[in-house]
Chains A and B, each alone.
Chain A
Amino acid sequence: DAKTTQPNSMESNEEEPVHLPCNHSTISGTDYIHWYRQLPSQGPEYVIHGLTSNVNNRMASLAIAEDRKSSTLILHRATLRDAAVYYCILRDVEGGSEKLVFGKGTKLTVNP
């Protein structure tokens, strides 16, 4: 499985934007970039995913670098409820892989 690198932790203030980076320099052309998050005492939940173009949904935006070797998850206005561990995962869809292999993720702290 392709590797991703994320900072161990980040801090933000409530109602400010948060940019969570992820490096994936060994990404292949068929790897999708997925983001999940895990709230305290909960199972992980899907946030967003993309291949090449930037993506937006009701939870967040995903900005993908032109060379696809890095991506950034953007929370436009952080709330206390966004405090969680955020995981950046690469999935090779054409390889027929349904696996989701989690790394250590980034622990986001949101200050009131």
Chain B
Amino acid sequence: DARVTQTPRHKVTEMGQEVTMRCQPILGHNTVFWYRQTMMQGLELLAYFRNRAPLDDSGMPKDRFSAEMPDATLATLKIQPSEPRDSAVYFCASGLGTQYGELSTEAFFGQGTRLTVV
């Protein structure tokens, strides 16, 4: 049963600490999305990658957030330094994009990482 795997599922950290969230997309998927969900803002798109290259990270605070894909099986979202306002659930999703740039199939979401910054 193919699925997107996110680790850790829960993370509590102190303000100022570095946080790294990991995502294993579905094998063969070439598009990866990072979302953040809070009660106030709902689901916000932070960034997305196609074939490991960042295509759009306009939703991501650049000063403290960074997203990378070291290889096709791993996407990371890093926050340094973390702040209480970063507390949220972070979702990763993957899909299969075509040569024309559109997503040919639905996006599959992971279970999320619940981050609490105290």
Contact = CB atoms under 8 A, between A and B. Distances in A.
Interface in B89-109: 91, 93, 95, 97, 100-103, 106-109
B74 interface: no
Nearest to A92: B102
Nearest to B105: A46
Nearest to A87: B43
Interface residues of A, number: 22
Contacts of B100: 96
Contacts of A36: 106
Determine chain B's interface SS by DSSP, over half rule. strand
Interface residues of B, number: 26
A49 B31 CA distance: 19
B31 A43 contact: no
Given A45-B108, A46-B106, A46-B108, 19 more contacts: A34-B106, A42-B109, A42-B112, A43-B4, A43-B110, A43-B112, A45-B109, A91-B102, A91-B103, A96-B101, A96-B102, A97-B102, A98-B31, A98-B50, A98-B55, A98-B95, A98-B103, A103-B42, A105-B42
25 contacts: A34-B106, A42-B111, A43-B91, A43-B109, A44-B93, A45-B108, A45-B109, A46-B107, A91-B102, A91-B103, A93-B103, A98-B48, A98-B50, A98-B95, A98-B97, A98-B103, A99-B48, A100-B103, A101-B45, A102-B42, A102-B43, A102-B45, A103-B42, A104-B42, A105-B42
